Amino acid sequence: MKFTDSPVIDLKIKDKTLSLQQDNGSFHVGTSVWPCSLVLSKFLDRWTPQSTNLTTTTPNPYSTLLSFQNRRAIELGTGCGVTGMALYLLGLTDIVLTDIHPVMPALKHNLKRNKQVLGKMLKTAILYWSNVDQINGVSPAFDFVIAADVVYIEESVGPLVKAMEMLVKDDGVVLLGYQVRSPEADKLFWEICGEVFVIEKVPKEDLHPEYCYEETDVFIFKKKKKNL
Ligand SMILES: C[S@@+](CC[C@H](N)C(=O)[O-])C[C@H]1O[C@@H](n2cnc3c(N)ncnc32)[C@H](O)[C@@H]1O
């Protein structure tokens, strides 16, 4: 189920290389790097305007969506922190990376490991999706909520979607790297998300060609307008 058993994964974002150290022997899934986070990161790398790997003649359907000036972001279930770090390198510098308490050492280790590339230690917070005080403690709402490979336990689906709803601005977006991990969690997730969000699936051809797998997708959620 894990992407690779190699303890170190390198990921090129713009002209920089992130180096992630996994602890594959750990009991906690967040100490490994999962494929959805790489697919989402490289999708963002491909389309974020000013990305050096995009020629100016290429039309960019995501240029408005991925405009990061004066925007705030939060990552849920960040694990080793790869997608949050990638977004930071792509220009979204007001970002907080969150996860459960036991994953914090692996996250902080990786932030330290990449401190030179990033230029500073990024902000982190302990945030359990069911903990409303922790959600309010990170000062919502955010322009971007990002998450990768976070849907695998049926009981966590309700709190996860609620946390996304509370954290994202009415005109903000959720960017999700997704893979089916549990049929039950998958079914419930899309049921609840369908009530709260308008859901757009990124076409496979828009993913980064080297980080595009049959089973992995990127989704863009926008909050449904409330009927007044
Ligand atoms: C499969 S890992 C994915 C990690 C990382 N996003 C990646 O793709 O490499 C799922 C992450 O969600 C976090 N997580 C699971 N349940 C959670 C909860 N109830 N509240 C907060 N984080 C949770 C885990 O600790 C873990 O870091």
- Successive 10-residue mean pLDDT values, the chain, 228 residues: 68 96 85 95 95 64 96 98 98 97 95 97 98 98 98 97 98 98 98 98 97 96 85
Please state whether the predicted TM-score (pTM) of the whole model is above 0.85.
Answer: yes
Mutate to test the pocket of ligand 1, among 29, 82, 153, 154 (most ligand atoms within 8 A of CB): 29
Encode burial over 149-162: b for 16+ CB neighbours within 10 A, e otherwise: bbbbeeebbebbbb
For the CA of 156, the closest atom of ligand 1 is: 19
pLDDT at position 50: 76
Q: Can you tell me the distance from the alpha carbon of 6 to that of 22, in angstroms, rounded to the nearest whole number?
A: 8
pLDDT at position 228: 61
Ligand 1 mean position, distance from CA 56 (Å): 36
For the CA of 82, the closest atom of ligand 1 is: 9
Q: Could you give phi then psi for residue 110, rounded to 5 degrees?
A: -75, -35
Q: Could you name the CATH architecture of 8-53+62-223? A: 3-Layer(aba) Sandwich (3.40)
pLDDT at position 25: 76
Q: Can you tell me the distance from the alpha carbon of 85 to that of 184, in angstroms, rounded to the nearest whole number?
A: 31
Evaluate whether 34 touches 3 at the Cβ level (below 8 Å).
yes
pLDDT at position 24: 75
Ligand 1, atom 26, lies closest to the CA of: 30
Ligand 1 mean position, distance from CA 124 (Å): 14
Q: Can you tell me the distance from the alpha carbon of 162 to that of 4, in angstroms, rounded to the nearest whole number?
A: 31
